[in-house]
Amino acid sequence: MLRKELNLFSFKDLLEFYPFRHIDKTSVDKIAALSNDSEYTQVAGVITDIQMIGEKRTRRLVAHLKDDTGTIELVWFQGISWVEKILVIGQRYLVFGKPGFFMGKPQMAHPELENYTAENADGKSHLEPIYPSTEKLKAKGITGRAIGKFTGELLKKLSENDLPENLPVPVVKRYKLIKRYDAYRHIHLPASELHYQHALRRLKFEEFFFAQLSIQLIKISRQRFSKGSVFEKVGQLFNDFYNHQLPFQLTAAQKKVLKEIRTDTGSGHQMNRLLQGDVGSGKTMVALLSMLIAADNGFQSVLMAPTEILAQQHFNNIKQLLVGLPVTVDILTGSSKPKARKLILKNCEDGSATILIGTHAIIEDKVIFKNLGFAVVDEQHKFGVAQRAKLWKKNTIPPHILVMTATPIPRTLALTAYGDLDYSVIDELPPGRQPITTVHRNEMARPQVMDFIKEQIALGRQAYIIYPLIEESSKLDYENLMKGFEEVKSFFPEPKYWISMVHGKQTAAQKDANMQRFVTADTQILVGTTVIEVGVNVPNASVMVIESAEKFGLSQLHQLRGRVGRGSDKSFCILLTGQKLSRDARERLKIMVSTNDGFKIAEKDLEIRGPGEIEGTKQSGVLNFKLASIVHDKVMLEAARSEVERIISEDADLILEENSPVKEYLQQQKGKSLWSKIA
Ligand code: ADP
Ligand code: MG
């Protein structure tokens, strides 16, 4: 039962099934004092009556509890037969729950009950833990309180030896952490609020520490065991391109990152680097220059993009940049024709393809390389860790890997979730970019917005109009898109205006053709869904209209906005929404209007949504902390990380005496020997 309902399998799980709050057992509220904003409370009184009301699905058990100030109604919809058994008229109970009011009368649904005995009313300072339970468990009498009793029993049986210290003593001292054994006791049954706070602090630190440690250990073992190809020199290809064909000066940040990559790829170790940079910061150029260095050293490279549109765009762009240089650039996607595919596969295998650009089609088993030395994964969040690992296997010595994020993720999050990767950041935009003006408009203002687009088109600019696509297959979303398309057409009649439409139900060829018409300015307006979200680069576009903007997440909005403001013209982002907005949606729109800085937006996003929801980190279990929060305990996270980094750099094998508790704990975790199963 515990197993299925709460995922508790062992004593350890039970110990780590933490209470979500405590109540002071000595504090019993008077019924008359309850109010609408009372949180969980405890009242004590005598049951005056018990009734069964309603039929079938509306059937419920209603009882009244009376103290010397008033009466409260107690209601159960589930687990009725169990409650009936224990509830006796005239008996005293201690009742715990969250009160509500119905027609001005206090009420409590599914409260927890306990006989009111001298023992639990003795006035000793007892903070009682409150655990989550489920209706099913409650129906069997396993309330949160019952779970607390199991845990209490378990804690009584354990001694300090069962929960030995697992952190290095100097760390425990430095951060003034309480003993592990004490922490478990006081997190469940604290002697006082202060004890509880100390317990919480210790256990949070432990969570951060071991999460960081395991990820850092993965990194170190990889660095040790995975040899990397050595890029000895910067050769003629790079220099010719850099000196004669690079269309602009690199920003200082681009140069810095390039240097980091250069150092890594010359070291003999395999590089695994995460490159963060805001939308439009010029990550692609860094990738291209790195691939040229690979080519200078006789290695092939791949650049993997999340969509065909983007792969195609990279291909066109890079091919054009490299024109005249002795480099073969190929493209391979899911829709490559069999004949072309065959040729490309051959080129990859015999080494004549220098740079291969594509979608995930390039990691299929059939694609074999002669000497793959460098792999770029663009817009990382669309790729899973498994796909990254597949890239490694493409060469006997695994290629160096550069993972580029689509929109920034907060530094703390990046270092936590991707702590096994090295970290680079481009923290400046190329010069001359004008900040994008962002406004929020009610959809009533759509005609004015369309007029504004007309003005911009008259100036020679182009515009995007984006509709939400929540689910790839959702019919409703497509209907909305088509309706929107018709509406846009009525504002912008042919032949004065031409419109492209791009969405996920088109074939790759259709998508590409429509996109291409927009790129070449054959059409002035692109209506589409978020398939255009990442990476698309049309510098002449100056307006981004996002329909139903409240339905998009922050990083998506920022990514979409990043499609404009790529040229030297003033650009605009218009967020259209309905009248009714949730608080979160309002907050998101406010942030978008107030800043263009992707790193700031990422921090806010993390605050609003929490780490679990941030794209690209869902699968990476490292963020599933039970107590700690990377948003609220950031300082502690940094402290734990710096301790881990120090330990790893001084003593990666944990040989030092002071690190032996850590080593023993890790070994014990592997064996899980101490913890017998819950029967
Ligand atoms: P992102 O980092 O979002 O992938 P891109 O690599 O697509 O950004 O670059 C955005 C635009 O900025 C491109 O048109 C690119 O050619 C241009 N760009 C990149 N680096 C520089 C630079 N140092 N100076 C001027 N323009 C640059
Ligand atoms: Mg990009």
Q: What's the pLDDT at 125?
A: 46
For the sheet with 499-502, list strands across it.
Answer: 437-442, 572-577, 541-546, 462-466, 525-528, 499-502
Shortest-distance ligand to the CA of residue 276: 1
> What per-residue confidence (pLDDT) applies to 27?
74
Pick out the chain residues at pLDDT < 70: 1-9, 25-26, 117-126, 134-142, 144, 380-386, 470-474, 531-535, 611-624, 671-679
Look at phi and psi of residue 324 and say left if phi exceeds 0, alpha if psi is from -120 to 50, else beta. Answer: left
Residue minimizing CA distance to atom 23 of ligand 1? 250
Which stretches of 509-590 are assigned E, i.e. beta strand? 525-528, 541-546, 572-577
The 10s digit of each residue's pLDDT in 631-658 is 889 899 999 999 999 999 999 899 999 9
Q: Say if ligand 1 is within 6 A of residue 503 CB.
A: no
Query: Closest-lying ligand to the alpha carbon of 251?
Result: 1
Alpha carbon distance 406, 116 (integer Å):
59
Query: For 327-367, how does the pLDDT look when each residue is reduced to its tens digit (9 = 90+)?
Result: 999 999 988 999 999 999 999 999 999 999 999 899 899 99
Max Cα–Cα distance, the chain, nearest Å: 95
Instruction: Enumerate the β-bridge partners of residue 541.
Output: 462
- What's the CA gap between 143 and 146, in Å, rounded? 5
Kindly give the distance from the C-alpha atom of residue 282 to the centroid of ligand 2, in angstroms, as a whole number: 7
First-to-last alpha carbon distance for the chain, in angstroms, is 11
Q: What is the pLDDT of residues 526-582, one digit of tens each?
A: 999 876 655 678 889 999 999 999 998 898 899 899 999 888 889 999 999 999 999
C-alpha 474/C-alpha 370 separation (Å) is 43
Q: How far apart are CA 236 and CA 325, in angstroms?
A: 10
Decide: 408 in ligand 1 pocket, CB within 6 A.
Answer: no
Q: Cα separation of 204 and 208, whole Å?
A: 6
For ligand 1, is residue 251 a contact (CB within 6 Å)? Answer: yes
- C-alpha R_g of the chain: 31
567 lines ligand 1 (CB under 6 A): no
**DSSP assigned state of 98:** -
**How far is it, in rounded angstroms, from Cα 506 to Cα 649?**
52
pLDDT reported for residue 630: 82
On the question of a cis peptide bond just before residue 661, with omega within 30 degrees of 0, the verdict is: no
pLDDT value for 659: 94
359 Cα–ligand 1 center, Å: 21
Query: Which pair of structure tokens corresponds to residue 175?
Result: 């951060």
- Rounded CA-CA distance 497/522 in Å is 9
Looking at residue 206, its pLDDT comes to 95
Q: Could you give the count of Cα atoms lying within 13 Å of 361 in the half-sphere of its Cβ?
A: 19
Q: Whole-structure pTM over 0.95, yes or no?
A: no
What does residue 599 show for φ and ψ, rounded to 5 degrees?
A: -70, -40
The beta-carbon contacts of 24-30 under 8 Å, at least 24 apart in sequence, are 24/125, 24/126, 24/127, 24/128, 25/120, 25/126, 25/127, 25/128, 26/123, 26/124, 26/125, 26/126, 28/94, 28/121, 30/67, 30/68, 30/69, 30/70
Which atom of ligand 1 is nearest to 284's Cα? 6
Please tell me the predicted confidence (pLDDT) of residue 412: 80
3-class secondary-structure state, position 196: helix
Which ligand is in closest contact with the Cα of 247?
1
DSSP 465-521: EE---SSTT-HHHHHHHHHHHHHHHHHS-TTT--EEEE-TTS-HHHHHHHHHHHHTT
Task: Please give the pLDDT value at position 347.
Answer: 94
The helix (run of H) or strand (run of E) holding residue 426 is: strand 422-426
Residue 614: both structure tokens together = 């941030």
Q: How far is the CA of 431 from the centre of ligand 1 (A)?
A: 10
User: Does residue 279 have its Cβ closer than 6 Å to ligand 1?
Assistant: yes
Residue 422 near residue 272, CB atoms below 8 Å = yes
| Ligand 1, atom 1, residue with closest C-alpha | 280
CA nearest 624: which of 611, 609, 637? 611
Backbone angles phi, psi at 82, to 5 degrees: -70, -45
Q: Which ligand is nearest to the CA of 425?
A: 1
What structural domains does the chain harbor? 2-157 (2.40.50.140), 236-426 (3.40.50.300), 437-595 (3.40.50.300)
Give the integer Cα–Cα distance in Å for 210 and 641: 9
